[in-house]
Amino acid sequence: MRSSNTPSIYRPDLGVVAVEYLEGEAMSNIGLQIMPPFPVDEQSAVFPVIPAKALLSVEDTSRAPRGRYNRGDWEYEEGKYATRENGWEEPIDDNERKLFERRAPGQGDFIAVKRAMGIIVRNQERRIAGKLFNASNFTAHAVTNEWDDAANATPIDDVTTGKLAFREQCGMLPNGLVISYTTFERLRRVAQIVDLLKYTFPGLDINSVGAAELARVFNVPRVLVGGAIYDSKGKGLSADITDIWDNEYAALIRTATDRLDIIEPCVGRTFVWTEDSAQEPIVEQYREEQSRSDIFRVRHDSDECLLKSYDPEGNVISNIAANCVYLFSNITTK
């Protein structure tokens, strides 16, 4: 299905294959579990946000005979999103194609799309991590004993304190704990956790402890381990492999449980503009004769948006996201 003309053609078949590959290989990406995708028909718009005061209001529900029921009189506030396009192109030269396809026809197409898709997803992961693990967006609560101090760290106590504070913030319990892969590995060696694991999972090989076991220890529904990495130095420089999720932070969060309920209180959403395609990201292909190459483009329009409402002047009215996050800092000894 190689294109012979310059106009691009839509390749949903490659999009499906690439997404399936990423779902299997890129389990270290957790951003879209934290801010689940929400498809939208407009590039930018407002959406309803339940007022913070309405979340836990206590009202008079009694009714006198022949009387009317009391009813809510609060109005929805307005959040806003503005999607932005991100895309990447990968060429497959005709000579490269011959090398790729000697034994596997179509392999060159898949390799190009897989690389482009990886770049798109990696950048999206960085955007979400940069918003969640950010002391400018959320109050940072420094732990007393860093979690990389295996003998003295008290992460179970810290998380318990965080859960109690979280409940007072929004009236709900967190449904996830977000940590970096480095923090995950260090927590498996912390004496406080190891001692509890011995009683919770008798006979368990400590080296096989995973996110599910840590979730049981912390008594949270799930632990999300951000294992994605990137080269922070960029092209042309010596590689500097860096964690996308900063191991200086951890966070208790409340994520959306219903992807279609836009007013559900949560940390945020990833708004995806679907004008061009219901599938996301979009994969396209076109021919570039001057380089004797087939060009594969992967693109999407999204806004990774913390859940807030605004007044007409752009001032925040209700910061729902702040109520749905408890940010730990000072996790690592510097």
Model confidence at 63, in pLDDT bands (50, 70, 90)?
Answer: confident
First to last CA, the chain: 54
* Phi and psi angles of residue 23, each rounded to the nearest 5 degrees, phi first: -65, -30
pTM of the model: 0.89
Helix axes 155-170, 211-218, angle to 10 degrees: 70
Q: Is the pLDDT of residue 307 over 90?
A: yes
- What is the model's pLDDT at position 273? 92
Which of 259 and 42 is assigned the larger pLDDT?
Answer: 42
Tokens for 115, please give them: 């690389």
Can you tell me whether residue 174 is helix, strand or coil? coil
Q: Is the pLDDT of residue 172 over 80?
A: yes
Q: Looking at the domain 9-52+77-329, which fold is it?
A: phage-related protein like fold (3.90.1690)
The residue type found at 330 is N
In sequence order, the β-bridge partners of residue 300 are 86
Average pLDDT, the chain: 88
Query: Could you read off the pLDDT of 102-123 as tens digits, one per residue?
Result: 777 778 888 899 889 889 989 9
Domain ranges of the chain: 9-52+77-329
Q: Is the pLDDT of residue 77 over 80?
A: yes
- What is the model's pLDDT at position 64? 82
Query: Could you read off the pLDDT of 314-334 as tens digits, one per residue?
Result: 999 999 999 999 999 999 986
Model confidence at 7, in pLDDT bands (50, 70, 90)?
Answer: confident
Q: Is the pLDDT of residue 278 over 80?
A: no
- What is the model's pLDDT at position 66? 82
| CA-to-CA separations, 321 to 31, 230, 252, 267, in angstroms, rounded | 15, 27, 12, 4
Other C-beta atoms within 10 Å of 266: how many? 27
DSSP string for 239-259 = --EEESS-TT-EEEE---SST
Q: Strand pairing of 268-273 and 282-288?
A: unpaired
Query: Could you read off the pLDDT of 122-145 as tens digits, one per residue?
Result: 999 999 999 999 999 999 999 999
- What is the model's pLDDT at position 33? 93
Which of 205 and 183 is assigned the larger pLDDT?
Answer: 183
Model confidence at 186, in pLDDT bands (50, 70, 90)?
Answer: very high
What does the chain come to in residues? 334
- What is the model's pLDDT at position 72? 74
- What is the model's pLDDT at position 334? 67
Least trusted range by pLDDT, from 20-24, 280-284, 295-299: 20-24
**Phi-psi group of 116: left, alpha or beta (phi > 0 → left; psi -120 to 50 → alpha; rest → beta):** alpha
- What is the model's pLDDT at position 23? 60
In this prediction, residues 31-38 reach a mean pLDDT of 93
- What is the model's pLDDT at position 276? 74
Q: Residue 91 in contact with residue 291, Cβ under 8 Å?
A: yes
